[in-house]
Structure 1
Amino acid sequence: MKFLTTTALALLASAGIAGACEMTLRSSDTHPDGYPTVEGVKAMAAEVEEKTDGRICIEVFPSSQLGEEKDTIEQTQFGVIDMVRASFGSFNDIVPVTQLMSLPYLFRSVDHMHNVMDGPIGEEIAAGFEENDLIALAYYDGGSRSFYNSQKPIQSIEDLEGMKFRVMQNDVFVDMMSALGANATPMPYGEVYSSIQTGVIDGAENNFPSYDSSGHAEVAKYFTLDEHLMVPELVAMSKSTWEKLSPEDQQIIREAARNSATVQRELWAEQERASEEKVVEAGAEIIRDIDKTPFIEAMAPVYEKYVTTPESQDLVKRIQETE
């Protein structure tokens, strides 16, 4: 286990609201202040403080002040930190079912993802976290990833043939590109701009805010809205902290967390719209309304390779059948 740095401990000790509350819960986020996930947990904190008459406060530490995601997840499991907001991808080694959420085209749309995660399947997945000393409180929106490139508008699966795309260092994404007829080139995120600019790769894949903030829209102006990947984000609490709360306070926190998911999702949608408008004004071309069916059908060998147990096959089937 990696323990908190001296700086992080000082930050915890100096939290301004600590003295005014009977219990102060420390929540970690890697994103900067003002980011939708940070503001979502702040909304949760405001509701909890109001409904407990100030007895319980939540102090949010953004910008990786308490550590990176995997470190802070571990610290939350041990009760060193009370809460953490992290991507499902960071839980893959702890809660194996989260790996399924990285399957390409698993979710048909953002609404489909929300309906799955907010329903019985989300509750079932939450049980896997509790077995690992974490209480899943709310599922946030991490956005959807789509393809962008410097060469041409991608309007069909045939247009991907032979193209070179940067993907994260992940076997699923490498196999996804192969199944689509393209070539995967794993590389650090910071190298993508120059690699597109110099023709080392044709493009990459990400969401609108990243496409905008990274400057990739300047060198890869064709953005195809295929939404091949939607990975949920999670707000989780340490089980040891949770068990210190009364049933009444647990209910308050759970309701506040779920309400905060609505706030976070709205803020994320606003950020996506703003980034989309910005890149379009700068000359990016957005390719919409493509027929996703051939893309989805091409994933059959990927699913065959990674969805191997009866339990995972059943879960994928139920996710796909959810309206």
Structure 2
Amino acid sequence: MIMLIRSIIHSMSILIFLMGSLLFAMPDRRASLSTATPTGAENENCTVTINYLDDAGDLALAQGTVYFTIAVGTNNPITATGDYADITEEGDEYGVGAYTISPNMVTSSTLTIGVVADKRYEHDEEFTITLTNATGSVNLTGSPITAATFTLTNDDDLPKFAFSTPTSNEEEGTAKEIDVVVEATGGDVGRDVDVTWSLVDTETSTADHASDEEGTLSFTEGEDSKTITYLSEEDELHEGDESFVLNLTGYGTTGSSGSQTAHTHTINDDDEVPTVGFSVTEMNKDEDHGSVTVTFSLEGQTTSATSVSYAIKSEGTTATSEGDDPDHNLSASSVNFSA
């Protein structure tokens, strides 16, 4: 009899346990993202909510594990790694990768994606969050939204391009590097930019230039300076210092003009000043010799006409003499050399 009573009590305990388990078992919940097209901005963290829904589609307590991934988008994808990553995992913030989250008697979970603060002018960029699996009392069966694509709207200014200095100078025949920089007052380069430039002669001419008179500087993401290398012709002409102007002329649709878009460069003339003299320093002729030719010589080259004045210093002779014929017919004048 005692054994029978014990058996009945044991059976009732099992029944009560099973009934309790059924009574207190967590019903299945569907994990669903709150929206399929969340929006975000550069320099601000993005958030999206995972809701846990009952059969009626209402929020309900859930307990289990949800698996999800964050990946680059298909249209204008974010940069995932390296120096120019657009989102990053830090602290409680998620980056690109595969993750899990474990709801414990909550109706929703909020995911925060760490957006990197930058100044790069770039495309509106995308990344996607996808719910891939769920366990415990959570599942994805019939879930309304299992993937969401974030669009990070660019909020940075166009990069501004300018010469680093307003002027420069260099001796002729020597190369000079002239820098074009991205100014801090604009955005950084996040999209390719072609900056065009051209040379305008003011005191120079094409014959003075041994390098290109126009060109293009191609900037890529993260670059902040480029160099124009100018070389003048080396010659033997004394022409004085000469200047020209370099102008930045275009930036496409991904750049803009900065504060210094013109640069004046001076070619320092290093040729000696031409000298003028007589071909001989002394001549002796008989009085009745007749005419005498005196030759002037110019040593060196110049780009401009040269005029040299001369004077007559008489030593024992005169141009006119009382009662006599004049000794010579010379007078002060000048000689001219063409360029």
TM-score greater than 0.5 by the shorter chain: no
Q: Which bracket does the TM-score occupy, shorter chain normalised?
A: under 0.3
More strand by share: 2
Pick the structure with greater CA Rg: 2
TM-score of the pair, normalised by structure 2: 0.21
More helix by share: 1
